[in-house]
Amino acid sequence: MKPWVRSLVGILCHIPGIYMIFFMGFMVLMITSGPKANTPGVPIWFVLIFLMHLAVMLMMFLLMAFFPIWLLKGTALSTEAKILWAMGAFMMGPIIQPILYWLYLRKTPDGPYFFGGPLSSEPSQQPNP
């Protein structure tokens, strides 16, 4: 996998958690600020939040497809571990996907993976002892 794709997946898998905090804060602010004057039409903030919500949900669906496919096709984990991680990434995506990224998908700047050996079809850069 190309480095820019790894970085893009890393950024995308962290957005849902950040968005959830923003959305909850925004809703609390809107509820506590009280009603506004009677103005016709839909408020612009509602349209913007709706479009942002739509974009984040679409991105989450794309990540829910990416991680199980990446796990089942491109990693050297055992079959049981692949199935468990794929089910977790599909069912609990916003929680499991950043964990998968940090454990298995991200590399340190000098090459080797953070935890354990390489888990894809890429050759190992570390000599075996």
* Extents of the domains making up the chain: 3-33+42-105
Give the residue among 23, 26, 2, 17 at the shortest CA–CA distance from 60. 17
Q: pTM of the predicted model, to two decimals?
A: 0.69
Which value, to the nearest 10 degrees, does the dihedral of the CA atoms of residues 14, 18, 19, 21 take? 150
Whole-number pLDDT of residue 57: 93
- DSSP states along 29-48: HHHHT------SS--HHHHH
Walking along the chain (129 residues) 10 residues at a time, the average pLDDT comes out as 82 92 89 72 82 93 88 79 86 88 71 50 52
For residues 30 and 46, what is the distance between their CA atoms, to the nearest angstrom?
A: 10
* Coil vs helix vs strand at 113: strand
